[in-house]
A = this chain, B = another copy of it.
Amino acid sequence: MAVCWKIVSLVVLASFFCSSIGQNNNDNVDVTSAINTTVRPTVSTTPAAEKPVACPTEPEKHDEEQQASLHIFFLLIILMFSIFMTHILIKFKFHYLPESVAVVVIGAMIGLVMNKTGKNFEDLEQFQPQTFFIVLLPPIIFESGYSLHKGNFFQNLGSILVFAVIGTAISAVVVGGGMYGLGQVGLVYQFTAIECFAFGSLISAVDPVATLAIFHALDVNPTLNMLVFGESVLNDAVSIVMTRTILSLTTQESGGAASVFSAIWSFIAMFTASAAIGVIFALASAFCLKHVNLRSTPALEFSMLLIFTYMPYGLAEACKLSGIMSVLFCGIVMSHYTHFNLSPVCQVNVQQAFRSIAFMAETCVFAYLGMAIFSFKHTFHAPLIIWIIFLCFVGRALNIFPLSALANLFRQVTIDRKMQCIMWFSGLRGAIAFALALTLDFSEEKRSVLVSTTLVIVLFTILFLGSSTLPLVKFLNANTDSLDDKFTMSKTEDQREAVDAEHFEENIPSISMRGFSQFDIKYLIPFFRRKFTPAEMLAGRHEMQALTEKWYTGLTGHSEMGSLEEHQDLTAPDPVHDETSL
C-alpha cells in the first residue's frame, strides 16, 4: 500500500521536475515562444521581416500535438491509479464494490479537482464519441466474444433475442411514449414525439460494457449472466434500426404498418449481415492461419490475428451495420476455430493481450464517465430525470416479466422469479447511451438537457444498481444456499480461470445444437482447424519450455534446475534445455 503511494508521488514529482525543465527550455527563447510552442522543428520561418506573427492555424496544430501528448499522459496516470485500486480491491477482498464503480468515482474525483483548480483541460475531460466507438468499444466486445461460454450463449439464443429485440422495443416505446405524454401534460420538459422516441430508444438499450464489468464475475448462475449479457450485445442492431425507422416515419409520412414491416425486414437484414461479416472474417482468419504457416514468426502471427479481429468492426461500421454484433460474432467464431491454429505462445499472448487491452479500454470508459460529471455544462431538470428513471424501470419490467413468461413456454430450464427480478434490476445503461446522446443534433438546449439526463441515468444505474446487485443476489439466494465465498464483484481477479474454463466444450442438451455440433465435428472443425503433426506439437511444447527456461535463467543467472528438482521431481532432462542454456 505505502509503496503504491510512494511510486505515485515519485511519478508526480518527476513530472513536475520535467515540466519545469521544459519550461526553462522555453524561456531560453522567450521572444519566439509563440512560434516555438512546437514539439518538433516546425520551422515557421517566413522571415521575420515579412510576417512576424506566425500563421494562426499552424501553431494551433502543433499545440494540438503537444496537448494530445499531455492528454495521453494524464489519461495514463488515471489508468495507473485505477489499476492500483483494482489491485487493492482484489487484495483486500473488498468484493462488494465493483471495479467499474470505483473507477467512476476516481474519474469524478479527478474531474472535480481539475474543475476546482481551473486548469484548462477541457479537451482532456471531454468524452469523445468517435474515440469511444472506434478505439475503446471494439476490443471490449471482441474480448467478451472470445472468452464467451459458447454453449451457454447459443443454448439461450432464442430467449436472448426475445429480450433484445422485442424487449428493447417495448422499453423504448414505454420510455418514449411516457416522456411525450408527461411533456404534453406539462410535468416535464417538453420534447417532440420524434425526440422522445429517439431518446427512448437510446436509453432503453442495456449497455454491454457496464453489464460485462458488473456481471462477468457473477457466475453463480451462468444462464442469468448470459441472458443479461446477450441482450446487451444484441440490442445494438435493434437500436440502430429503431432510430432509422422513427426517422423515416417523420420524413416519409408513410403508413404505419408498412413502416413496421420495413423495419422488421431492415432489422433482419442488418442482424444477418452484421453477424455474417463477423463470421466470414473469423472463418477467413482460421483458414488463413491454418494454411499459411506463420507460427515460426510469432510477430506476424499475432499481427495477423489482431488485424482479423478489427477488420469486421471497421467494415460493419463503414457499411452502417452493427459493428458491435459483427465483432462479437467474430470473437465467438475465432475462439472456436482460429484459436486452435495458433502456436502456444500466440495463444497465450492473444488471451492476455486482449484481456489487458479490454481492461484498459473499460477503465478509460468508466473514468471518462466519472470525469463527465464535472466537465460538461449540465442542464439538469430534476422532474425529467426522476420520471425517466421511473419510466426506465417500468419499461424494463414490461420487457422482462411478460417476455420471461413467453420464453419459459419454450425453455427446458425456466427463468424463475428470482432471476427475473435480478434481470429487471440489472438494466445497466452505460457509455454507449452517453456517446449517442452526445451525437444528437437537436437544438443546443434540448441536447444539453438530454445529455445531462442520460449521464445521470447512466451513473445512477452503474453506481446504484451496479453496487446493489450483489446484495440483491445474496438476499434472494439467502434461503437456498450460502454462496458467500464464491461471490465476487471483481471482474479482473478470476481472469485466468475464466480462460481455462471457456475453451472446453460442454455437453449440449438441445437438439438443434446437437445437430450443429455433429456437423461441426464432422465438417467444419476438420476444415478450419489445423491438424498439428506430433513434431509440431513437440516443437510448441519445447518453445514454451524454452521460454520458461529463459525466465528462470534470467532470475537465477544459471539454467540448472537444481533448486527446483530438490523440491519436486518435475523436469526430466530434455534436449531443448541444453540448447537454450548455451
Contacts and interface: CB of A to CB of B under 8 A. Distances in A.
A84 B291 CA distance: 12
B355 A299 contact: yes
Interface string A480-492: 0000000000001
A503 B443 contact: no
Chain copies in the assembly?
2
A456 interface: no
A48 interface: yes
Contacts of A346: 352
A115 interface: no
A281 interface: yes
B42 A436 contact: yes
A181 interface: no
A187 interface: no
B547 A251 contact: no
A53 to B, nearest CB: 12
A496 interface: yes
B554 A3 contact: no
Contacts of A304: 80, 83
Interface string A532-549: 101001101100111110
Interface in A203-250: 239-240, 242-244, 246-248, 250
Contacts of A162: none
Interface string A566-582: 01111110100000100
Q: How would you classify the secondary structure of chain A's contact residues: helix, strand, loop or mixed?
A: helix
A35 B242 CA distance: 15
A299 B38 CA distance: 36
Nearest to A130: B65
Contacts of A177: none
A309 to B, nearest CB: 10
A530 to B, nearest CB: 8
Interface string A331-355: 0000000011000111111001101
A75 to B, nearest CB: 9
B273 A441 contact: no
24 contacts: A18-B321, A22-B320, A23-B319, A29-B248, A32-B252, A36-B244, A40-B239, A64-B130, A68-B130, A68-B134, A70-B318, A73-B315, A73-B318, A76-B314, A84-B292, A87-B292, A299-B352, A303-B356, A303-B360, A340-B554, A500-B580, A538-B568, A544-B551, A569-B572
